Amino acid sequence: MSALLHPVRFALWALAGAGAALALAIAVSVAFGDRPFTVMSGSMEPAIHVGDVVITRPIAPLDARPGDVVTFRDPLDSKRLITHRLRSIEVRGASVHAVTKGDANNTVERWSVPTGAKIGHVVLRVPRVGYALAVVRGPLGKLLLIVVPALLLGVLELVRIWRPARKEVSVDVAAA
């Protein structure tokens, strides 16, 4: 049984370490002004999938170039954000007029922002992490984030208490 636990324990520690490293990387990027968003539609398939998390860096619209993947406010619903590929950009007076299109879409969006505004430039895609974030954000996920670690700590402490003490073997160096 003990030989079986070593690979399992290693895999669990590796998974926890990878998760912690990912969380740290996202936290550092957020601290420097980047924003993570979970992708909720397949409009950017195959480049960006549903459930992926994209990290965006705020840029001036004049810094965007055709081919960049950008995040912007939906021209029809300002509460909704869209992440699509920039097709063209044109400056008219104090406004930047952009045309974007999702890679999997047949239609384009036309929108404009003031030249001094900010849009998001996608700098990183983290595959499938959005699914885990959706679970964690719900009430069950929050409960699991508190209850499961508390139970694991309790079990580990009970095992430590009830495990028989190991006998120490003393070696007398002078007698040898």
Same domain, 42 and 120: yes
Place of tokens 């239609």: 107
pLDDT band at 1 (very low <50, low <70, confident <90, very high): very low
Sheet hosting strand 53-59, strand order edge to edge: 35-38, 53-59, 119-126, 69-73, 81-92, 95-101, 109-114
**Amino acid code (one letter) for 19:** G
Check whether 168 has a pLDDT greater than 80.
Answer: no
12-22 residue pLDDT tens: 888 888 888 88
CATH number, domain with residue 54: 2.10.109.10
Check whether 170 has a pLDDT greater than 70.
Answer: no
Same domain, 110 and 50: yes
Question: How many domains does the chain fold into?
Answer: 2
In a domain, 151, yes or no: yes
Considering Cα of 12, then 130, then 139, then 32, what sign does the dihedral take? positive
37 bridge partner residues? 54
Confidence (pLDDT) at 145: 79
